[in-house]
Structure 1
Amino acid sequence: MDAIAKSRPTTHYPTRARLYLLGVAAMLIAGYLAHSRLLLRQIEAGSLDWRFNVRGERPRHGDVALVLIDESTLARFGQWPWKDRGIHARVIDRLKSAGASVIVFDVIFSENADSAADAKLADAVARAGNVVLAGFSPGAGGTRDGIPSISSLVEPIEPLARAADVGLAMAAPDPDGSLRHALLLAVNAETGKPIPQLALAAVLRRQGMSVSELSVNPGRSLRIGDLAGVPLNSQGQALVNFAGGTRLFDVAHGGAVPYVNVHDGVLAPGSLSGKIALVGFGAHGLIDVHPNPFSEDFPGPAFNAQVIENILHGEFLSTASTATDLLLLVLVGLLITHISATLRPLSAAGVTAVILAGYVGVALWAFIGGGVVLAIVGPVLSGGLAYAVVTVRRLTSEERSRAHLRRHFASYAPPEVVEQLDSGVVAERMEGIEDEITVLFSDIRGFTHIGSQMEPRRLVAMLNRYFTAMTEVVFDFGGTVDKFIGDGLLVLFNALVKQDDHAKLAVFTALEMQKRVKRLNEEWADEGFPRIRIGVGIHTGSAVVGNVGPRMRMDYTAIGATVSLASRVEGLTKDFGTEIIITRDTLEQLGGLVEVKPLGPTEIRGIDEPVEVFGVLGPAGAEGRVEDGDSDRV
């Protein structure tokens, strides 16, 4: 017979290597976005604020005594600015008497007021000998030797500048306007001299050091004598470790003293012993406020107080290096890529969520426990993108393959079996298993003679109608069409899907096939097609079933002696004049559902022992039987 074998395509899922390449691409995209996009950098900054709030506020160290020019002070001395700077002179005297180690004025005195009052203030500054005054710069000027530079420095008026140290009053808000970093040291672009920020100038005065004694490693660290080094970022800024928000530094909650009270002598001698007194604005309309992680209106004097305490106690936050952040990004991305490429999407989603949540937990622990800031956005984005691109690639590829598979199997398996192709059980059986199956083999008797008498197109048309009718019967009983071999048909039961009654299904399929052939003959009588008869052989036994063949042309089939024996049994139908023959192995599973006629042990080529076979007469108790020995054979 001519072999007209079908082929079924294999599933073309993306290889593991391709999925890993997609994951790597996701990591590269995540790294680029996290470091180059302002929005993501702001989200990263927001994640730092979140860490602060999870940690919560903590008590201040108390090294700085804040003295605020608040509403009560303005009510006493009038609206700012005051021409009588002698008021400040009295406050300096009071603070010195209270034992302040350093007196810092976060107030600009860049213009002359009343000459007598200015002289009085200058005398008080000189008497105290520990005053730091604020200067300011009209603008930044890039960097110089890795240190931020300012265009120029506007100092206090000459008598004050001569009697006091000067620190730069300059905030360095992030792009979102929040204060998170302190610019501790800058270079005056006009003179080339280093200028300490106001808080650093206060600490230098307390330590008895000059700015020239600082040890600076640009972009890395700043060391102030025997104090702990201050970590710096690439812009020369230090990341401030805030104790809390505004309430820790305001008058209402005891974090500051009203300026007027100090002026009036409420401070007892020695009450500020060893402390740095910091004078600044606290009244609305005068105060320079920015958001910080805890408050929307964190005042400038409070910021300077916090920076001073961070310097004295070595509490600035340490930011992980870019290399560390990239390493974490890659590790998280690779791990989730592997998870996404190996687990089912839903399981991978759960594991991915656990990994990302775990990483965020580690970053939170590093922040709270060690003051180390690990990047969150980059690694989380890397893992999320890796999961997304790998999963989408898998799902789209698998869906295309499943659709392709369904289209092809629709010709060889019933719809209910095709619908189960996605199940794990069917997938396992397609990959290859050994199981007991029932094999049905049929062919048209005398087909060679029939074919030689017919015009090719009519022959093909007749075969197509015949196979269509037989396939419909097979599908009705849940069988799988394995092959069309010339005029022959190979059908498997208990192959693609589990069928406990596979022997019964095969036998009743054969009985129905005989009925359909008779109806076909009746239809063809008026069309000039020859009358046909078929023989059916059925055997039950163990076989290996699965997709077999090269990747580009795979065939779902059965392998083993069971298949060849069914074919040989079908050949006996001609010898015994019986339309359906089954073996004892099949009969033993029927439980008396059909009537059979013993045909005795029979020698079969290729089989060592005689095989006991039986002719099927019909369903048990049925009036009509399959006719044996019909003389009208083709």
Structure 2
Amino acid sequence: MSAPIWSRHPRELQIRLLISAVLLAVFAGHASGLTPIRVISHLENLAYDTRLRMTMPMSVDENIVIVGVDEPSLAQEGRWPWPRDRMAALMDQLFERYEARAVGLDVVFAEPQDGQRVSSAATRAHSQWRSLGGWLEPSRPEEREVTADEILANSLRGRPVSTAMLLRDSEEGYSVGVLPSPVMRWESLPHGLEPVESEGYTANISQVAEAATSGFTSNPLVDPDGHFRRMPMFWAHGGQIYPAMTLQLAWLVSGYNDNPPEIDAYRGRWPFKAYRMQVGSSRVLMDRQAAIHIPFRGPRFSFPYVSAAQVLNGEDLDGLLDGKVVLVGGWSSRLTQMHATPVDQAMPNVEVQANVLSALLDGRMLHSPMNPALSEILLLLLLAVLLTAAFMVFGGWGSVLSAVVVLVSFSGFNLAMWHWASVVLPYASVALFVVVLYVLHLLYSQVIEARSRSRLSEVFGQYVPKELVQELNERPQRVSLAGESRHMTVLFSDIHGFSGIAEALNPRQLTHLMNEFLTSMTRVIHQHRGTIDKYMGDSVMAFWGAPLDAPDHARKAVMAALDMQKEMDRLNQRFGERGWPQLRLGIGINTGHMSVGNMGSEFRMAYTVMGDAVNLASRLEEMTRRYGVGIIASEFTRNAVPEVRFMELGRESVRGRESVVTVYEPLGLPDRLTELDEQRSLQYERALDAMRAGRDWEVEMLVEGLLVSDPARHRLYRWLLDQLDGRSAMNDGRYGESAG
């Protein structure tokens, strides 16, 4: 994962902001409708349907009963539409026999019925039937004949009945029938409320329009996928406002007294405005198109159902219709359009109306904010700011956690608003925005990291082993090219007497020798995960502890130095076979705090270390010539590697340092040393202690023994004797000066 964005170049911040701004513009264009994106709309519909199915009551509303014109009814009464007198008989049965509270007729009587004339005696008999509960034979057949439309109108007049009508859009601008009285004029609407306008309509004939109220049942707000999710409560035509049939029924049930409905903007406790209208004890909240979201109770048959044939036959329905609101409409697919809904793919229109009416009566209402596009854009803007800031501040896993927290929090907030406030907020578009925003920033992070890995490989590929470069690529956040202070170990190596060796070889031989030497030494250093700082002629400088941390950097450096000496022995064997000079390698090692980073000028940079601890390592390498040993390590390195056996060489006053430094020769791991090696090192250290104690005779005895048993290290032992001789000469000089 990437490092926090604040640690990067300001240009990357600008690109991050640009990514968020462009994505926000795309989603805002969709929310406003300027550039709709079909995929987002489809996902939004799926999210809406899922929430609706999760929260719907899944219970039957016993207060609303559907009387369906179904196949048994058609078999009994004949093909649809039925004669008007049979519809009148159906109304009479519902009110007189079954005592329905109110009836909604999902039927439009748009044209007069021809060829259906009866006498006035039938009209009188119909009136008597309404009062006595049955038909009477006409007394005078010669009485005036009346139309079936008049019989139907008489059956509707004075009863709480609402019939249907259809309002048409601009493509179907013709008009049929007579519109009822409007409930208000356009200018009476609250500011911003804009119901869908109709260019034409299909309404009832004048007799029916005068006898009963009516409202539209058509739905202009069908979603592009053909699903019914919203239903308008008002529709406009010619500057007049007309209600939905379900709203008319709700008014009839609640005692609406023909006064214009009061609609106002409502804010409530939530920061999402809506338009409010009171219907009885229920509060209806609508969006800018005067629409509500249909809160379906469940799939089909969420309301009691009765066949129209049963009602016409007067069957005993066990009080099912008593005091109930009845909706009459086509139930057979041959008679009515089956609508696709979120809860059922084939729901009759009359049952869709029943769901709307149920919501109006019990106040179970869903609505969108007054300005859903603005609400969505503001929500997207808020999340864009929060997430972009989180990506910039945290980076890496912090970005993942931020995106998850925002997504989960928004999901909970969205469901809470749906369940407790009945506010429908966009979900899929916002959730998709969060996911896409994170993915884009993640991809950009990958580009940055790839570029960083490439840069790291370019910078460190010449210094560190390949496997270490791979680790750097996998964990670039742990690497910094900027200067920093670290506790590290540095190693200097140099060939003793290189000038004479160079003179003994021709240029070609010298080149081959140096290439083979440097390659072998580099390989050993890389095997111990060291970083090559530089080659300086015959010298190699390396360090441990950077660019990646290495807690055991001192041990790695010491073991590398021991293996370098072993590799030098193998090289000398090969060089001897070629007749080349034998090489003696001196190595100095020190551990301490030093500055590490990319240093140099604008013309050339190098990843290197600097500081007093580095200078001390260089001085220790120079001391190997004087002591005649292959490796010298400081007391700081020796203290950092207690598992390695060191032999003290002496105490040195190093140029540039005020304190004396104890220097050691690393011998190796104790289990790899021979008993003879251990005895010799202990004997040398006793000689060193004896010299410090002034027991010169003991020093000479111990050193003489070492020269006999270990002649290969005679230079070290003679150095000790030289120290002893030098001290004696200094003492003699002092005495002589005093005597004089």
In structure 2, do the counterparts of structure 1 residues 453 and 228 end up closer, same or farther at CA, with 3 Å as the change threshold? Answer: farther
Residue 394 (1) aligns with residue 448 (2): no
Following superposition, the deviation at residue 170 of structure 1 comes to: 0.9
Following superposition, the deviation at residue 168 of structure 1 comes to: 1.8
Residue 193 (1) aligns with residue 240 (2): yes
In structure 2, do the counterparts of structure 1 residues 605 and 175 end up closer, same or farther at CA, with 3 Å as the change threshold? Answer: same
Residue 157 (structure 1) aligned to one of 205, 218, 223: 205
**What's 1:536 paired with?**
586
Q: Higher mean Cα deviation, 413-422 or 292-301?
A: 413-422
Matches for 1:223-242 after TM superposition, within 5 Å: 223-224=277-278, 228-242=282-296
In structure 2, do the counterparts of structure 1 residues 466 and 121 end up closer, same or farther at CA, with 3 Å as the change threshold? Answer: same
The structure with the greater share of residues assigned to helix is 2
Q: Which has the higher contact order (CA 8 A, sep 6+)?
A: 1
Following superposition, the deviation at residue 248 of structure 1 comes to: 1.0
Q: 1:186 touches 1:194 (CA, 8 Å); kept in 2?
A: yes
Please tell me the residue identity of whatever aligns with 2:154. D
Any gaps of 5 or more consecutive residues in structure 2?
1-6, 118-146, 174-185, 188-193, 267-272, 678-709, 717-740
Aligned residues: 606
Q: 1:543 touches 1:558 (CA, 8 Å); kept in 2?
A: no
For 2:380 and 2:555, the matched residues in 1 are separated by 56
Please tell me the residue identity of whatever aligns with 1:51. R
Following superposition, the deviation at residue 549 of structure 1 comes to: 3.9
Q: 2:85 touches 2:151 (CA, 8 Å); kept in 1?
A: yes
Following superposition, the deviation at residue 280 of structure 1 comes to: 0.9
Residue 504 (1) aligns with residue 558 (2): yes
Residue 76 (1) aligns with residue 124 (2): no
Residue 22 (structure 1) aligned to one of 5, 19, 22: 19
Residue 482 (1) aligns with residue 529 (2): no
SS in 2 for 1:478: coil
For 1:551 and 1:575, the matched residues in 2 are separated by 36
Following superposition, the deviation at residue 625 of structure 1 comes to: 5.4
Following superposition, the deviation at residue 265 of structure 1 comes to: 3.0
In structure 2, do the counterparts of structure 1 residues 523 and 214 end up closer, same or farther at CA, with 3 Å as the change threshold? Answer: farther
Q: 2:163 touches 2:214 (CA, 8 Å); kept in 1?
A: yes
In structure 2, do the counterparts of structure 1 residues 154 and 283 end up closer, same or farther at CA, with 3 Å as the change threshold? Answer: same
Following superposition, the deviation at residue 341 of structure 1 comes to: 4.8
Residue 316 (structure 1) aligned to one of 332, 351, 365: 365
Following superposition, the deviation at residue 317 of structure 1 comes to: 0.7
User: CA-atom RMSD, angstroms?
Assistant: 4.2
**What's 1:90 paired with?**
89
Following superposition, the deviation at residue 487 of structure 1 comes to: 4.6
Q: 1:537 touches 1:568 (CA, 8 Å); kept in 2?
A: no
Following superposition, the deviation at residue 411 of structure 1 comes to: 1.8
**What's 1:289 paired with?**
338
Q: 1:434 touches 1:543 (CA, 8 Å); kept in 2?
A: yes
CA deviations over 1:607-629 (Å, ceiling 9, x no partner): 22343445689995589957859
Q: Higher mean Cα deviation, 235-244 or 321-330?
A: 321-330
**What's 2:309 paired with?**
260
Please tell me the residue identity of whatever aligns with 1:367. W
Residue 139 (1) aligns with residue 186 (2): no
**What's 1:558 paired with?**
609
For 1:404 and 1:524, the matched residues in 2 are separated by 41
**What's 1:608 paired with?**
658
For 1:540 and 1:518, the matched residues in 2 are separated by 27
In structure 2, do the counterparts of structure 1 residues 304 and 478 end up closer, same or farther at CA, with 3 Å as the change threshold? Answer: closer
Following superposition, the deviation at residue 125 of structure 1 comes to: 2.0
Please tell me the residue identity of whatever aligns with 1:501. R
Please tell me the residue identity of whatever aligns with 2:52. F
**What's 2:39 paired with?**
39
For 1:521 and 1:372, the matched residues in 2 are separated by 88
Following superposition, the deviation at residue 502 of structure 1 comes to: 2.9
**What's 2:377 paired with?**
326
Q: 1:137 touches 1:168 (CA, 8 Å); kept in 2?
A: yes
For 1:322 and 1:549, the matched residues in 2 are separated by 55
In structure 2, do the counterparts of structure 1 residues 310 and 615 end up closer, same or farther at CA, with 3 Å as the change threshold? Answer: closer
Following superposition, the deviation at residue 24 of structure 1 comes to: 4.0
For 1:14 and 1:464, the matched residues in 2 are separated by 43
In structure 2, do the counterparts of structure 1 residues 231 and 523 end up closer, same or farther at CA, with 3 Å as the change threshold? Answer: farther
Following superposition, the deviation at residue 407 of structure 1 comes to: 3.9
For 1:216 and 1:305, the matched residues in 2 are separated by 26
CA deviations over 1:201-246 (Å, ceiling 9, x no partner): 3334443344844547799525256654533334332212122221
In structure 2, do the counterparts of structure 1 residues 584 and 45 end up closer, same or farther at CA, with 3 Å as the change threshold? Answer: closer
Following superposition, the deviation at residue 375 of structure 1 comes to: 1.1
Residue 300 (1) aligns with residue 331 (2): no
In structure 2, do the counterparts of structure 1 residues 503 and 111 end up closer, same or farther at CA, with 3 Å as the change threshold? Answer: closer
Please tell me the residue identity of whatever aligns with 2:151. K
In structure 2, do the counterparts of structure 1 residues 133 and 577 end up closer, same or farther at CA, with 3 Å as the change threshold? Answer: closer
**What's 2:3 paired with?**
none
Any gaps of 5 or more consecutive residues in structure 1?
1-9, 250-254, 630-634
Residue 493 (1) aligns with residue 544 (2): yes
For 2:93 and 2:360, the matched residues in 1 are separated by 26
SS in 2 for 1:136: strand
For 2:107 and 2:37, the matched residues in 1 are separated by 37
Residue 471 (1) aligns with residue 516 (2): no
Please tell me the residue identity of whatever aligns with 2:290. G
Q: Structure 2-normalised TM-score? A: 0.71
Residue 171 (1) aligns with residue 202 (2): no
Q: Higher mean Cα deviation, 449-458 or 238-247?
A: 449-458
Following superposition, the deviation at residue 263 of structure 1 comes to: 2.1
Q: Structure 1-normalised TM-score? A: 0.81
In structure 2, do the counterparts of structure 1 residues 73 and 580 end up closer, same or farther at CA, with 3 Å as the change threshold? Answer: closer
Q: Higher mean Cα deviation, 372-381 or 264-273?
A: 264-273
Q: Higher mean Cα deviation, 222-231 or 239-248?
A: 222-231
In structure 2, do the counterparts of structure 1 residues 312 and 604 end up closer, same or farther at CA, with 3 Å as the change threshold? Answer: same
SS in 2 for 1:420: helix
CA deviations over 1:580-611 (Å, ceiling 9, x no partner): 44445555677797896x65433321122343
Please tell me the residue identity of whatever aligns with 2:217. A
**What's 2:721 paired with?**
none
For 1:464 and 1:169, the matched residues in 2 are separated by 93
Please tell me the residue identity of whatever aligns with 2:245. L
